[in-house]
Structure 1
Amino acid sequence: MQSRVQIQPDVSTPNKRRLNDSAGSGGLPTPKQQRSGNKQFQDNEIILDATGDNQQVDSTSKYIKQHKIPFDQVKRAVSSNLPCFLISFHPINEDQKVPSAFKAADQVFEYLKQQNVQINRFSFVGWAGAKLKLGVNGKEDYINLVSTEKWPTSIMNIPITIEKPKFIPDCFALVIRYIPRGMDFEFVKEEISRSIASVVNLKRIQYSYNRKTDDYRFHVKDLQEYNRALNMRRISIGNVIVPITQFLEGNKLTYCTRCWRLGHIRNKCSAPTARCRICLQEITDIQRHNCSQQPRCAQCDGNHHSLSSQCESIKAYKMQLKEEVDNALARGVIHRSEPNK
């Protein structure tokens, strides 16, 4: 006898904020260890806080009154730029001059075109220190650049190295909903993989309230499979037909990956020395740094990670950011952006 489950109306993914690196398009990604080191994140699970928690209002109201979030941070919160690709130049002698950003980008584009790598021209060209930063707007362009190994090895006879993004952006994430509680995680993973072969990073979403069913979030590395799954809108898990919806990103936080404080990005940091993302000790030589593995918060000096959802300063910033983003969206001052298909 075929099992049935009541399908509830499709709704947007609960607002789990992804702490993207605040450098925006192509900024250095938050190290995976930062996320996995947080006690809030268990293996194969994502824990979501309940919205509108009255307990945090009193403890954060003072912080909110004293802080006004700059407009550039409000704009960054709703941006959905794809991660950029970085190119390092290695001149052999002093006579070799690094070309301008635009000239180098044109050289890379033409080379990829000759190698039959089909992309549009780069939508972002700039410098990140001594590294050339190249970005695209389209998901298909991004996947083609990530998957190809046909990048040039030199530009104008200057040897180069390519750094690809180290994580899959959330614009490639999907959510399957209303899986009957009690289904084994590995069974669910296998069932999804039978329909979507390129699924990675499967996580069960743990809510802060009781539910009779489970939701799972995952990334899809193949764009065709991603679009196919999204268009189908349903998938079979153990003879149960459940819906698939797009994962909706939360507001991005502006924070620094040098000092780990809120409110600015790495290239605007005034700290004389970078700090360890865990223990916050100053790092003068990364090879000799010996982390204590004892988390310390750059916002409140508490014994948790600097971007932990346990931190009252982080909670307050999120509350204020959401309020200002909602107001700006309502006034039409900003618009949520997402990569082109």
Structure 2
Amino acid sequence: MYKQPKVSSITSDLSEALKVHHSAEKPDFLGPPGSIFLLVSTFLNSNQRFNSRSGRYVQLGSYADDGNNSNSIHISKHALDYASEYRYTPFKIECHSELTDKKQGQKLVTELLKFIKDDFSRQNPSFRNIPIFDLWWIDLNGDLQIIIKTTELYVYLCKPDRYRKEVNGITMTPHPPSHLPPQHTVILKWVHHSILNVNLEEELKSKYGSLYSIKEMAGTETSRTRHLKVEFLDKKDYDNILNSGKICLFGHLITVDAFLSVSKILICNRCNTPGHTKNSCKNSTVDICRRCGENSTNLAAHKDCQVKCHHCGGPYESTDYKCKFIADYRRQLIEELKKHPEHLPPDIQLFIPKEYRSDEDRSKSIYNKSAYEYKQYLCRQKQQ
């Protein structure tokens, strides 16, 4: 049973706010804007202990890739939630003059939501809830930082021209995220290098007016082709191009596929072991260098230290997916998600990399089928 947490004071630093927000268990409720409610649970998943005298790990059992390691790996609920939850990039509103107290922020948030209400409703006629921000705070520079977890509102506010310019003498300059959520993103596969991005953008805009961005996907380039990630503000444009499956551009028939997030591994920033956070780490009292496995209190001494994984001894960092321990943990995490897809949010689909698919099940994605189908049913009902 959860215990009711204390209300934290308004967080002024962006990194601290996100660290707390991501490492906390999901709360039963959210407080008024500017407040953060925390529920913290302790998770322990480790086969190592820290030796304070030597300043490094002492293995309780050396990791060996014997094919049975996944049976002994425990996946906590926190790790499952972290793997499936989409990390929403904060919106920044630069304020001139700087915000100095919570009341100013509250007034600005209220006026902004009031300003966008009518136009947002016109743009999203099937949206029945009241548009609100999930979290906001004032950072050290006196600017407003906002977390939005409602996809429709998130996408709507990604256009800078939808903001008020001034509230009570405070000029606002919006800095929205550079990318849209996966639900508005497709992949154009094997696009030939002869087709330049600038020409492709012009052609797609003539067909789909809500085109937001085109970016090459890292690691997909070959001598002849590459994959492109394409984002659309309008869900109808996204659905149309995705349902077509193919698109003809400059005489080339290009495959269109959905862009899916991959499951993320919760890794402790202190001991570099998956399954828990630094706040609940029981393996070490000091930060451990992920390059060499030594005490990293003196950061200057670890700029050129020897790279050796302290999990398996390989020539890479201890948090690298090349590590057999991390790879086995990831494999077991994916298996747990496949066994319990009901824990995934209804609008989230997770991509399964090829090397983590079994011979019995070659599925490329994991999703909450019942919740997804029910959401689709509700959408059809609203459109009727």
TM-score, normalisation: structure 1: 0.56
State the match for 1:79 in structure 2: 85
Residues 1:115 and 1:66: Cα distance change in structure 2 (over 3 Å): closer
CA–CA distance in structure 2, aligned partners of residues 128 and 279 of structure 1: 38
CA–CA distance in structure 2, aligned partners of residues 202 and 277 of structure 1: 30
CA–CA distance in structure 2, aligned partners of residues 293 and 155 of structure 1: 51
> CA RMSD for the aligned pairs?
5.2
State the match for 1:338 in structure 2: 347
Whether the aligned pair in 2 keeps the contact of 1:279 and 1:292 (CA below 8 Å) is: no
Report the CA distance between 1:60 and its aligned residue: 5.8
Pick aligned residue for 1:124 from 128, 134, 148: 134
The worse-fitting range, judged by mean Cα deviation, of 188-197 and 230-239 is 188-197
State the match for 1:195 in structure 2: 203
Whether the aligned pair in 2 keeps the contact of 1:24 and 1:81 (CA below 8 Å) is: no
Task: Please give the residue correspondences for 1:60-99 in structure 2 after superposition, counting only pairs within 5 Å.
Answer: 61-80=67-86, 82-85=88-91, 98=102
Query: Helix, strand or coil for the counterpart of 2:158?
Result: helix
Report the CA distance between 1:322 and its aligned residue: 1.3
Report the CA distance between 1:320 and its aligned residue: 0.6
The worse-fitting range, judged by mean Cα deviation, of 313-322 and 192-201 is 192-201
Whether the aligned pair in 2 keeps the contact of 1:24 and 1:76 (CA below 8 Å) is: no
Amino acid at match of 1:282: S
Pick aligned residue for 1:243 from 251, 255, 258: 255
State the match for 2:231 in structure 1: 220
Report the CA distance between 1:324 and its aligned residue: 1.1
Amino acid at match of 1:124: D
Whether the aligned pair in 1 keeps the contact of 2:139 and 2:145 (CA below 8 Å) is: no
1:59 aligns with 2:59: no
Whether the aligned pair in 1 keeps the contact of 2:94 and 2:144 (CA below 8 Å) is: yes
State the match for 1:19 in structure 2: none
Pick 1 or 2: higher relative contact order, CA cutoff 8 A, min separation 6: 1
Residues 1:295 and 1:110: Cα distance change in structure 2 (over 3 Å): farther
Report the CA distance between 1:251 and its aligned residue: 2.1
CA–CA distance in structure 1, aligned partners of residues 325 and 131 of structure 2: 41
Whether the aligned pair in 2 keeps the contact of 1:89 and 1:98 (CA below 8 Å) is: no
CA–CA distance in structure 2, aligned partners of residues 167 and 239 of structure 1: 29
Report the CA distance between 1:69 and its aligned residue: 0.5
Query: Helix, strand or coil for the counterpart of 2:260?
Result: coil
Task: Please give the residue correspondences for 1:115-154 in structure 2 after superposition, counting only pairs within 5 Å.
Answer: 118=120, 121-122=131-132, 124-125=134-135, 134-148=146-160
The gaps in structure 1 that reach 5 residues or longer are 1-22, 29-57
Whether the aligned pair in 2 keeps the contact of 1:260 and 1:298 (CA below 8 Å) is: no
Deviations 1:228-254 (A, max 9, x none): 533443211442323312122232221
Residues 1:217 and 1:299: Cα distance change in structure 2 (over 3 Å): farther
Report the CA distance between 1:312 and its aligned residue: 0.7
CA–CA distance in structure 1, aligned partners of residues 178 and 21 of structure 2: 11
State the match for 1:110 in structure 2: 111
